[in-house]
Amino acid sequence: MARTNEHGQPIGIALPNWNPPPIPPGQEIVGTSVALIPLDPADHAPALHEVLGSAPDSLWTYMTFGPFPTVDDLETTLASLTPPDFVPYTIVVEGRPLGFATYLRIQPSDGVIEIGAITLSVPLQDTTPATEAIFSMIDHVFDLGYRRVEWKCDDLNEPSRSAAIRLGFSYEGIFRQATHYKGRNRDTAWYAITDQEWPPIRQAFLDWLSPDNFDDEGHQRRKLRDFREGR
């Protein structure tokens, strides 16, 4: 039943025990198959350039940055992802940096945060570590007390839109002519997960990541969505 005030008007749910969370402290986040290391532009750029410098140009179509012909080009971009506006991480698998991602649009006063600038090298794409990296970033900020985690992308970026749904984000609509980049317009698709939605989504991730869900060659037995939908 909807809550009402003394005037009989509907009002939102009460938040009696909620306090604004901190900006993510930029600490290492370690999972089973992946580690998220606070991004150090000078230290990480050379290794990242090894896997990103030769990436196909199609990787950068919907990114605001890239491609990166030189290590210096990449380091300059990484150096622009600085706190408090960004809290960036290098995605490391078996000791090898294979991509990066960042928290951005961080609004502690509202408990809202976005995960973006997700840059996965070809060896990292469509892998268990890639999924676990995003799961770990979501889980970390809900543990800190955030109420909402957002995912945004170019409305024309179908792979990103599909990834958002696969990861459990709910589609919320299009912000038309929201911004522009690389000399073209961007209509932005919005997705989000709220803290109330997270517990069953989180359990689905944990069940999917269980060693029992993978065969001896590392192939999944059931899809992530199967766990989330109880199939």
Domains annotated on the chain, with CATH: 23-228 (3.40.630.30)
Stretch 177-206: mean pLDDT: 98
Asked if the bond preceding 20 is cis, omega within 30° of 0, the reply is no
Fill in the amino acid letter for 106.
I
pLDDT tens for each residue of 48-86: 999 999 999 999 999 999 999 999 999 999 999 999 899
Stretch 19-33: mean pLDDT: 95
| Model confidence band, residue 2 (pLDDT cutoffs 50, 70, 90) | confident
- pLDDT of 183 > 70? The answer is yes
For residues 229 and 166, give the distance between their C-alpha atoms in angstroms, rounded to a whole number. Answer: 11
Give the model's pLDDT for residue 115. Answer: 98
Give the model's pLDDT for residue 91. Answer: 98
For residues 60 and 5, give the distance between their C-alpha atoms in angstroms, rounded to a whole number. Answer: 50
Q: Tokens 């990480």 — which residue?
A: 44
